[in-house]
């Protein structure tokens, strides 16, 4: 984040969006020019009437009526053109915001997962919504106001110089002083507005995380602690806003009003010294009128600096994310023909300091069945994420279908290897859309996939069938059913490698058996990698890797690992004992019921 009062590179880039449609911008500026000419002509006509008719005590009816009608017409023209140009600038602003939002969201979708490891959801949403709204305000109010007032003041100064260059010089002295105030205000307000925007993002992040984790907060009775944290953020945000308001109250209108008052006194004093013979009464009236009209645009320009500062801070954050490193894929567009997977001395670190995986060697043949087991934090899910291409490996080599993973095109990678996660996300949409996820999949294939995972009976029970909306009150799936739905998503496209990351953790034994049968059938044309705590689900695996602290400590099939009587054997014995105790409990409950 830059510490400069005005980041010229950011401002230039921000203005560049409006220049994409030069024709629309030129029309808006032309409308502004016409409106300014019409607006400035009013005092000039009154000056002409005072000096040429009132001063001579002449009131020709046709001339007076003509001037009155012309004055009314000019004011009407000015009002109409101001209205039309405001619509034009709003149209430009909305178009820019749409472009920036689409660019930002497109970049978000293509960010590597590592970008989200330390990015709270609330802050990201704040960038897409609040920060882009600040850009809209920049175009609607700042750009529109600056162009309107600069053109208006320029036209006014030209007319004033035509009336009296002496009085014009007095007014011109006001402009450098105002510019100095604006520059000083900009420098003073830069850090204050940046802090205010950052605190607003923190507030959004706090609300988002609190709502998402509401069950945990209430279970742990942390309502008061989170309320205090939120109150602290809002208090600091309020304090920063008050600081900005104090700065605005001191440096905006009071200073500008003082400077304009000095200019007005100077005009009156000059008129008193020179007399009406050098400067007519009408000219003095016109200058006083113009001075009043100059003051408001100057105050308006200075007041827009706050919006300018907010827009620059918001743009720094948005452009920083847009320019961030994107997920990179290779150029190999040849579809995967087989589900072969190889890891050679693979190592990985999230932060570049602490090794999460080290020296991983795996060789999974086509139609193979690989299982990964180990304690929490052993690196199982991280290894699966590397196989999916979510993160680039730190060192070593990872191949799919005999080709380096980083050489494969995005579509090839995503069609060739798929994952069913432990806590799958369910869209607030129909069953059909939740399964196909925008892909061109027929209802027949969807029903076949639901049938394979044992979810078709449940969906047929819904009155709307595949058109039933999930997560919106019409139907809610259990944790196990969500995992079955996620598995159906994968099965409709038949990948070459399927990774199950604790995908059977929330499924009962009957459904698990049904899925095991489906997976055995699917192995006819795909390889399977299973991460599991329940060892009963991987007894048929061709090879089981036991991970501990990021390294493979044991490997072999189920019988071989039991014969080694190592960590895997201990895990198996504990689970067998647990299942035995569970059976005894169920038997006791049944006897009591009888």
Task: Please report, for the chain, the start and end positions of each structural domain, with discontinuous segments joined by +.
Answer: 8-322, 341-426+477-566
* Phi, psi at 337, each rounded to 5°: -90, -25
Give CA–CA dist 324/280, Å, rounded: 64
Q: Which fold has domain 8-322?
A: ABC transporter transmembrane region fold (1.20.1560)
pLDDT recorded at residue 110? 73
Q: Which two tokens stand for residue 506?
A: 């929330």
CB 371 within 8 A of CB 532: yes
| Whole-structure pTM value | 0.63
* Phi, psi at 196, each rounded to 5°: -65, -40
Q: Which two tokens stand for residue 73?
A: 């017409």
> How far from chain centre, in Å, is Cα 276?
63
Residue with structure tokens 């009003």? 257
Please report, in tens digits, the pLDDT of each residue of the chain (594 residues total): 444 445 678 888 888 887 777 787 788 778 877 877 777 776 667 666 666 666 566 667 777 677 778 778 877 888 888 788 888 878 887 888 888 888 888 877 777 766 676 666 666 776 777 788 888 778 777 777 777 777 777 777 777 677 666 666 766 766 677 677 777 776 777 677 777 877 877 887 788 778 777 877 777 777 888 888 888 888 888 888 888 777 777 766 666 666 666 665 665 665 555 544 445 555 666 666 666 666 667 667 766 776 777 788 788 878 877 887 777 788 888 999 888 999 999 999 887 788 889 999 999 999 899 999 988 888 888 899 899 888 888 899 999 999 999 899 988 888 888 888 777 788 888 888 888 887 888 888 889 888 887 788 888 888 888 888 886 656 777 777 887 888 888 888 888 999 988 766 666 666 667 667 667 767 777 899 998 877 877 888 899 999 998 999 999 998 999 999 888 898 888 878 876 676 776 676 666 665
Domain 341-426+477-566 sits in CATH 3.40.50.300: yes
- Residue 3: burial class (beta carbons within 10 Å; 0-12, 13-18, 19+): exposed
Same fold, 8-322 and 341-426+477-566: no
């Amino acid at each position: 984040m830059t510490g400069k009062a005005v980041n010229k590179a950011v401002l230039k880039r921000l203005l560049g969006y409006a220049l994409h449609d030069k024709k629309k911008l030129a029309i808006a500026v032309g409308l502004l020019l016409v409106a300014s000419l019409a607006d400035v002509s009013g005092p000039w006509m009154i000056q002409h009437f005072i000096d040429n008719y009132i001063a001579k005590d002449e009131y020709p009816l046709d001339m007076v009526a003509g001037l009155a009608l012309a004055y009314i017409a000019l004011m009407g023209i000015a009002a109409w053109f101001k209205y039309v140009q405001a619509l034009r600038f709003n149209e430009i602003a909305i178009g820019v915001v749409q472009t920036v939002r689409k660019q930002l969201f497109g970049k978000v979708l293509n960010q590597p997962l590592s970008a989200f490891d330390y990015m709270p959801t609330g802050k990201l949403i704040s960038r897409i919504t609040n920060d882009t709204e600040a850009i809209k305000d920049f175009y609607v109010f700042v750009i529109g106001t600056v162009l309107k007032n600069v053109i208006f003041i320029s036209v006014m100064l030209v007319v004033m110089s035509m009336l009296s260059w002496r009085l014009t010089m007095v007014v011109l002295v006001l402009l450098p002083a105002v510019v100095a105030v604006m520059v000083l205000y900009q420098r003073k307000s830069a850090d204050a507005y940046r802090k205010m925007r950052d605190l607003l993002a923190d507030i959004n992040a706090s609300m988002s995380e609190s709502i998402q984790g509401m069950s945990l907060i209430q279970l742990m009775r942390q309502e008061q602690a989170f309320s205090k944290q939120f109150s602290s953020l809002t208090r600091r945000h309020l304090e920063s806003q008050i600081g900005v308001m104090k700065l605005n109250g001191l440096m905006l209108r009071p200073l500008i009003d003082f400077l304009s008052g000095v200019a007005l006194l100077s005009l009156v004093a000059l008129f008193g010294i020179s007399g009406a013979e050098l400067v007519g009464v009408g000219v003095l009236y016109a200058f006083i009128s113009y001075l009043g009209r100059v003051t408001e645009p100057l105050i308006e320009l200075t007041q827009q600096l706050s919006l300018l500062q907010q827009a620059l801070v918001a743009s720094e954050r948005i452009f920083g994310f847009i320019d961030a490193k994107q997920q990179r894929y290779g150029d190999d567009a040849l579809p995967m023909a087989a589900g072969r997977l190889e890891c050679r001395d693979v190592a990985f670190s999230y932060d570049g300091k602490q090794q999460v995986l080290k020296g991983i060697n795996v060789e999974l043949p086509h139609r193979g069945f690989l299982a990964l087991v180990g304690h929490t934090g052993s690196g199982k899910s991280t290894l699966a994420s590397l196989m999916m291409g979510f993160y680039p490996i730190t060192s070593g080599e990872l191949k799919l279908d005999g080709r380096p993973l980083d050489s494969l095109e995005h579509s090839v990678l995503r069609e060739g290897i798929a994952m069913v996660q432990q806590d799958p996300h369910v869209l607030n949409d129909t069953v059909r859309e939740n399964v196909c996820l925008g892909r061109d999949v027929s209802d027949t294939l969807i029903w076949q996939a639901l049938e394979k995972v044992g979810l078709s009976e449940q969906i047929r029970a819904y009155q709307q069938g595949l058109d039933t909306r999930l997560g919106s009150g019409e139907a809610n799936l259990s944790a196990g059913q969500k995992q079955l739905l996620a598995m159906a998503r994968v099965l409709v496209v038949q990948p070459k490698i399927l990774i199950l990351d604790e995908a059977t953790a929330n499924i009962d034994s009957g459904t698990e058996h049904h899925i095991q049968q489906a997976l055995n059938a699917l192995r006819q044309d795909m390889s399977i990698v299973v991460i599991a705590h329940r060892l009963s689900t991987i007894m048929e695996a061709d090879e089981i890797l036991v991970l501990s602290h990021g390294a493979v400590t044991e490997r072999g099939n189920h019988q071989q690992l039991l014969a080694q009587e190592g960590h895997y054997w201990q895990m198996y014995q504990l689970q067998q004992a647990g299942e035995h105790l569970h059976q005894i409990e169920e038997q006791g409950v049944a006897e009591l019921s009888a």
